[in-house]
């Protein structure tokens, strides 16, 4: 996306202006690079996200809330933020039925891919969890969690794996109408969450490997 006058705050403000007072803005706050099998500790107040400068700025911005999950948390602000983000700690997988990813279609949510293409699409993991393709899951792991009040508790999560596989969520364009356009110099894609869940789930039932390639296959 490059440099923007006013920086990250200008981007956040623009998105909030588009959503209006009744809207809710969500960003992924994934932390799988820091919260690992060797360091299975998550503090909702302090653990950084690992999916770019804009989500990390949003995480630290005043008023932002964050769901409780060791590797696949989501941050949000706005009218529906609390209800969308709450309950994530009750899941036993990264993107289960209590996660914001699963809830988004129920709120007629949209997903904006801001200059990153369609491949980095964490919501697709929620759809994969419904169909359970053979590449998805790894072992269970116990995580020590710290909430906003500084209270600690344990979560046991069935982690994702993808070892030996490359995610090809850009193939959504083959099964779904994806809106495209420009925001400044960024090529952007806009997807209706409910339509994506329906189309991708039906495709995975027919072909469980449609949205992945073997690592060596992609290099050919």
171-213 pLDDT tens trace: 999 999 999 999 878 899 999 999 999 999 999 999 999 999 9
C-alpha span between 70 and 122 (Å, rounded): 15
Q: Does 99 reside within a domain?
A: yes
Q: Does 220 reside within a domain?
A: no
C-alpha span between 51 and 56 (Å, rounded): 7
Phi, psi of 130 (to 5 degrees): -70, -35
Q: Does 12 reside within a domain?
A: yes
Q: Does 52 reside within a domain?
A: yes
C-alpha span between 82 and 17 (Å, rounded): 19
Q: Does 217 reside within a domain?
A: no
pLDDT at 218: 56
pLDDT at 2: 55
69 and 122 in contact (C-beta within 8 Å)? no
Q: Strand (E) positions, 5-104?
A: 24-28, 41-43, 65-66, 74-78
78 and 97 in contact (C-beta within 8 Å)? no
- Global pTM? 0.93
3-class DSSP assignment, residue 174: helix
Q: Does 1 reside within a domain?
A: no
* Domain count within the chain: 1
Domain of 110, in residue numbers = 7-212
Q: Does 203 reside within a domain?
A: yes
Distance of CA 47 to the CA centre of its chain: 16
Q: Return the H-helix or E-strand segment holding 177.
A: none
C-alpha span between 2 and 21 (Å, rounded): 28
Q: Does 184 reside within a domain?
A: yes
- State pLDDT tens for residues 148-169: 999 999 999 999 999 999 999 9
Task: State the first-to-last Cα distance of the chain, in angstroms, to the nearest integer.
Answer: 29
pLDDT at 1: 47
């Amino acid at each position: 996306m490059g440099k923007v006058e006013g920086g990250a705050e200008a981007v956040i403000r623009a998105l909030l202006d588009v959503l209006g007072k009744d809207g809710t803005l969500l960003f992924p706050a994934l932390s799988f690079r820091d919260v690992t099998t060797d360091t299975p500790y998550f503090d909702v107040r302090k653990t950084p996200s690992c999916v770019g400068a804009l989500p990390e700025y949003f995480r630290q911005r005043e008023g932002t809330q964050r769901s409780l999950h060791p590797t696949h948390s989501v941050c949000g602000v706005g009218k529906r933020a609390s209800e969308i983000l709450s309950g994530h700690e009750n899941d036993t997988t990264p993107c289960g039925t209590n996660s914001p990813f699963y809830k988004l279609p129920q709120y007629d949510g949209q997903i904006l891919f801001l200059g990153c293409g369609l491949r980095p699409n964490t919501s697709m993991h929620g759809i994969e969890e419904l169909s359970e393709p053979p590449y998805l899951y790894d072992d269970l792991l116990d995580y020590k969690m710290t909430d906003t009040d500084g209270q600690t508790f344990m979560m046991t999560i069935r982690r994702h794996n993808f070892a030996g596989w490359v995610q090809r969520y850009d193939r959504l364009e083959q099964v779904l109408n994806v809106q495209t356009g420009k925001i400044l110099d960024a090529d952007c894609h806009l997807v209706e969450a409910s339509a994506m869940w329906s189309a991708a789930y039906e495709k995975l039932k027919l072909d469980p490997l449609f949205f992945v390639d073997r690592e060596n296959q992609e290099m050919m």
